[in-house]
Structures are given as structure tokens and as C-alpha cells.
Structure 1
Amino acid sequence: MAISISFQCLGLIILAAILLQTIAVAVSFMYFNKVLNTMQESFSSSSVSCLINTNLHLGSEDSAADDKKSDPCWQVTQQLHYLIEKSMADKFQKEISTAMRKKLTGVLPILSSGIRGVPLPEVAAHVTGVVSSTGPPAAEGSQRSRGYLGERVRSWEGQKGLSFLQNMELKGGDLLVPRAGLYYIYAQTYFRLPSTGETEGEAKEEMGETKEEEGTQLVQYIYKKMSSYSVPILLMKSSRSVCWPRGQEPGLFSLHQAGTAFLQPADCLFITVSNASAMEMDGRASYFGAFLVGLG
């Protein structure tokens, strides 16, 4: 009987010890959890205060550079600025579509070396002006017999400098189209009109001819020639009325145009102008080209 009472007392003591230990662990957990929440709230409050505090003195002349770098708030704001700038730069790069980069590379070949990993369009050409050793173009007969307006420009470079040919051929100043499709076509011609001089101007003014009344028309045409049709077809034209320059300096003018057209294999593109003898055949000033933007 005494032994059974002793076992009961021992069991109660063990149970009481386990209960006390459980209560102690529970109290400790609640205490440390409260402390952790307090620390987290304090840290969050201090981080937010760094962003909304108007007394950070980031640009103040009174605070030294070393003091700024040691300030936790200054470090938080600097990191935030860096992350925002990086995120905006990455987003901007992603928004530039590959198609737009290809178009820019085709129209402005000088960008091809700056945009790495972006290939040229599958069919493209950019030809630039080159000074002809034969001088200005000779007369080509009447406009009616030729079938097109203006004087044909044949002095183009397709291999050197900024020019290139990508699955297209340059023959006699014409670009030959190898594949049917929608093409983006562009051209620019640059003109240098010589000055008549002050002496000649004064003489004409005495004769009642004023300089302001003198002028000329500059016209640029883009034609396509089809193998199945003998007469070239006018695709685009651009014109400008200019006055002859006064004084000793020449007058500088340019014409630019661009557009799209459906072309067939064996079609060719060529440029004519109204004043070929006045053209400035600098490769960065006079050029034309085309590139495939969609299959027909």
C-alpha cells in the first residue's frame, strides 16, 4: 500500500514538472515573439522615416560627405535610387522592339555597328553618292522619249563607307529587287547652287531685275522599272522652290522622301533629279536605299 502511494506521488511530481516546463516555454515564446514584433515594427518605422523624412540633408552644404555616407537613411535612399534607375533602364531596353531596331539599322547603317546582335534586314541596300569622273550627266533625250522626268543619277557607291548591299544588286545606278514584297524606300539628294556674285547682282538690279524674283525648282523623283512594262512608274517625288543665293556663299539645299511600295522580282529602282549638275555627291548627304519589310 505504501509503495502504491509513493508511485502516485512520483507521478504527480513528474506531471507537475512537465506542466511547469510547458508553461515556462510558452511564456518564453510569447515574450520573445513580442520582442521580435517590436523590433520589426521599429525597423519598418525607421526605414519608412528615411523615405518620408524631409530633414535628410542629402544636398545640404552643412553636412560633410563622410557624415552622409555613414547615415543609414542616406544609404537606404541611395540604394533605392539605384534600383529605380536600373529598373527603368531595363524596361526601356525591353520596350524597343526588334523590328524597330531593324528599321533604324536599315535606314541609318551607321547604327549597325552600335547595335550589337541585331542583324540587317534579309533584303536591304543603302547606296551613297560618289563623285563621277565623267562630270555632270549628259543629256538623255526628251522626257517623252525617256519615259521619266528629270536627269538620272547613276553615280552611287554600294560597297564602301556607309553603303552596303544585302541580297540586292546595284547595276548602272539602279537597285535590282530580288524578291517580291513590301519595301520601304527612301532617298535624299543634296544640292549646291553657286552664287551669282554681288557684282552681277548689282548689274541686274540696275536693269530692273531683282534677286528676290530669281529662283529655281529642285525636284527629286523615285521611279521603279518593271520588266513587263516599258515605261518607268513614278513612285514618289519631292520638290522645293529656292532662290539663287546672294553674295559669295553658295546655297545649300536638300530633298528627302520615303515611303512603301510593293515590288516584284526583277523590278529596279532609280533616282532622277531636276538639276543633276548641281548635286553634291557626298556620301552622307546624297543617298538612297530600300529594305524588305513584308513578304508579298
Structure 2
Amino acid sequence: MAISVSLQCLGLIMLAAVLLQTVAVAVSFMYFNKVLNTMQENFSRSSVSCLINAKLESEVEDSPAEDRKSDPCWQVTQQLHRHIEKKIADRFQREISTAMRNKLTGVLPILVRGVPLPKVAAHVTGVALSTKDPAAESSWNSRGYFGERILSWEGQRGLSFLQNMELKGGELLVPKAGLYYIYAQTYFRLPSMGETEEDGSEDEGAELVQYIYKKMSSYTGPILLMKSSRSVCWPRGQEPGLFSLHQAGTAFLQPADRLFVTVSNASTTEMDGRASYFGAFLVG
């Protein structure tokens, strides 16, 4: 009987100890949770207070460097300033990148919006020569094409460029099969009637024609891709007449195909790099 009473007392003591421990843990948790919430609230209030009551930059600079670094408000404002500066710099970089990309894509008449610059492209510009190249005056009877070929193209300097394409003998060499956008413009400077009368010419009009040809390794003669023409009258008076012909279109080209331009009046062509040019780029 005495043994059973002792066991009951021992059990009650153990249960009481467990209850006390549980209550102590609960009270401790509630206390630390309240302290943590209080610290977070105080930190938030102090951060907002730092932003609202922020000192002027001149006042901050006048204080010693060690005092500034140890000041919690200074640390909060510095972190906020760095975050704002980073966001502004990232946005500025994106806007600059977009503007530069639009400038570059505006150099060429891209057909499909949203695509980058083509990997295969060329834009060559006219070069003024002091003496006329005899090879630029071949007739279509002997060469298999109409007009006089333009050989004086520039592919490296000024506004011209070559991107994975070659310029040889006034011809653009196609490196890759695909659909190409091809364009050309020639600028003509016709002398006045007074100049033509001194030369003994009695013509009152002229037919200006521009051709774009391609040469294929598997075919003997050049193939005419495009033609543009304009009938003009010789200018009267002392000022010369200025005219231009422009044409553009698409054609499927094979590797090793060559593109070149001919005109009907090569002697009156003004080979200025901004007025006479020729190019092509891969679009698909």
C-alpha cells in the first residue's frame, strides 16, 4: 500500500514539472516574440523617420566620416540612394541600347520589324574618279548586258560597309543562298544646253536608265533583275540638270552569284557617296 502511494506522488511531481516547463517555454516564446516585433516596429519607424527628416547633403558632408558611418539613418539613406541610382542606371542603359539599335537598323531598309541587323549585308558607295575607266564603257553587244557598268564602288570607307560579303571589280559576291533585298541608286548630272551646243550636240532629251544584273556560275550571260528609267530634257540655261534613279526589290540568290549595276549614261553619272550607292542584304 505504501509503495502505490509513493508511485502516485512521484507521478504527480513529474507531471507538475512538465507543466511548469511547458508554461516557462510558452512565456519565453511570447516574450521574445513581443520583443522582436517591438524591434522591427522601432526599426521601421526609425527608417521612415530617417527618410522624412533626412539631412541636407551639405549638412551630412560637414559631419565627420566616422560619425556618418555609425549613424543608422545615414546607412538607411545610403542604401536607398544606391538602389535608386542602380535602377536609374539600368533604365538609362536600356534606353540607350534601344536608341542605338534603332539607329543601326535604320541604316538599312529592314523588311521584318524586330529582327537584328542581317548577318550578310553590303552597302557600297560611289567614288569619283579623275579619269574614266575604259572598262566602265562596255556595250551590251560585247558583254551581254545593257548600259555601261559602274566599277568605282567603295566598300570600306565612309558610309559603306561589307559584312560577310565581298566587293570585286564592281561586283558584290553572294556568300550564302537565300532571299536578298537588293537596291541601287545613281545620280545624274546633265550639262546645260549651252554646254551641249558648244560640244556640237543637238539632242533635246535624254533617256536615263539604270539596270541591276546578276551573274551566275552556271549560266554564261548576266541576268537582268531590275530596270528603272526616266526621260528627261536637257536643262536650259546655265545650271545643270540633276536627276536620280532608285530601284529596289528581292531576289533569291545562290552562293557565288555576283551583282552589278549598269547605267545608260555613265559619263553623266555623279559618283558621290551619298547620291550613288548600291547594296544587298539577306532577309531569309
1:152-171 CA distances to partner (integer Å, 9 max, x unpaired)? 31112456775447364623
State the shift of 1:140 in Å. Answer: 4.7
CA distance in 2, matches of 1:56, 1:152: 77
Match of 1:63 in 2: 56
The residue type equivalent to 1:22 in the other structure is T
1:147–1:247: structure 2 CA closer, same or farther, 3 Å change rule?
closer
Runs of 5+ consecutive residues of structure 1 not aligned to the other structure: 109-117, 201-214
Q: Secondary structure at the match of 1:132?
A: coil
Question: For 1:218 and 1:56, how far apart are their aligned partners in 2?
Answer: 77
Q: Which residue in the other structure is 1:30 paired with? A: 30
The 1-side partners of 2:22 and 2:187 are apart by 94
Pairing partner for 2:151 from 139, 151, 154: 154
Task: Tell me if the contact between 1:223 and 1:236 (Cα under 8 Å) persists in the aligned partners.
Answer: no
Task: Please report the TM-score for the alignment, with normalisation by the length of structure 2.
Answer: 0.55
Candidates 260, 265, 271, aligned match of 2:261 = 271
Could you say if the C-alpha distance between residues 91 and 142 of structure 1 is closer, same or farther in structure 2, counting changes exceeding 3 Å?
closer
1:138-181 Cα distance to aligned partner (Å, 9 max, x none): 755589x9753x5431112456775447364623x233445542
Q: 2:168 — aligned with what?
A: 170
What is the CA distance between 1:26 and its match in structure 2? 0.8
Aligned pair 1:76/2:80, yes or no? Answer: yes
Residue 281 of structure 2: aligned partner: 291
Shift of 1:233: 1.7
Partners of 1:271 and 1:66 in 2: CA distance: 71
Amino acid at match of 1:153: I
CA contact (8 A) 1:136 1:276 kept: no
CA RMSD between the two structures:
5.7
DSSP 3-state at the match of 1:135: coil
Q: In the aligned structure 2, how far is the partner of 1:2 from the partner of 1:242?
A: 139
Instruction: Provide structure 2 residue ranges, at least 5 long, that are not aligned to the other structure.
Output: 62-72, 110-115, 195-204
Deviation at 1:135, TM superposition (A): 2.3
How far apart, in 2, do the equivalents of 1:251 and 1:24 lie? 105
In the alignment, structure 1 residue 235 sits paired with structure 2 residue 226: yes
- Percent identity of the aligned residues? 55
Question: Deviation of residue 82 (structure 1)?
Answer: 2.0
CA distance in 1, matches of 2:60, 2:246: 58
Deviation at 1:271, TM superposition (A): 1.6
1: CA distance between counterparts of 2:86 and 2:238?
Answer: 56
Q: Deviations over 1:26-58 (max 9, x none)?
A: 1221232244345546666887x69xx9x788x
Contact 1:177 1:265 in 2 (8 A): yes
C-alpha contact 2:164 2:175 (8 A) present in aligned 1: no
The aligned residue for residue 19 of structure 1 is 19
Q: Matches of residues 1-296 of structure 1 in structure 2 within 5 Å?
A: 5=5, 8-37=8-37, 39-40=39-40, 63-65=56-58, 67=60, 70=74, 72=76, 75-76=79-80, 78-80=82-84, 82-83=86-87, 85-86=89-90, 89=93, 104=105, 121=119, 124-135=121-132, 140-141=138-139, 147-148=145-146, 151-158=148-155, 162-164=160-162, 166=164, 168=166, 170-171=168-169, 173-177=170-174, 179-189=176-186, 220-225=210-215, 228=219, 230=221, 232-235=223-226, 237=228, 258-264=248-254, 267-273=257-263, 276-281=266-271, 286-294=276-284
Q: Judging changes above 3 Å, is the alpha-carbon distance between structure 1 residues 41 and 167 closer, same or farther for their aligned structure 2 residues?
A: same
3-state SS, counterpart of residue 183 of structure 1: strand
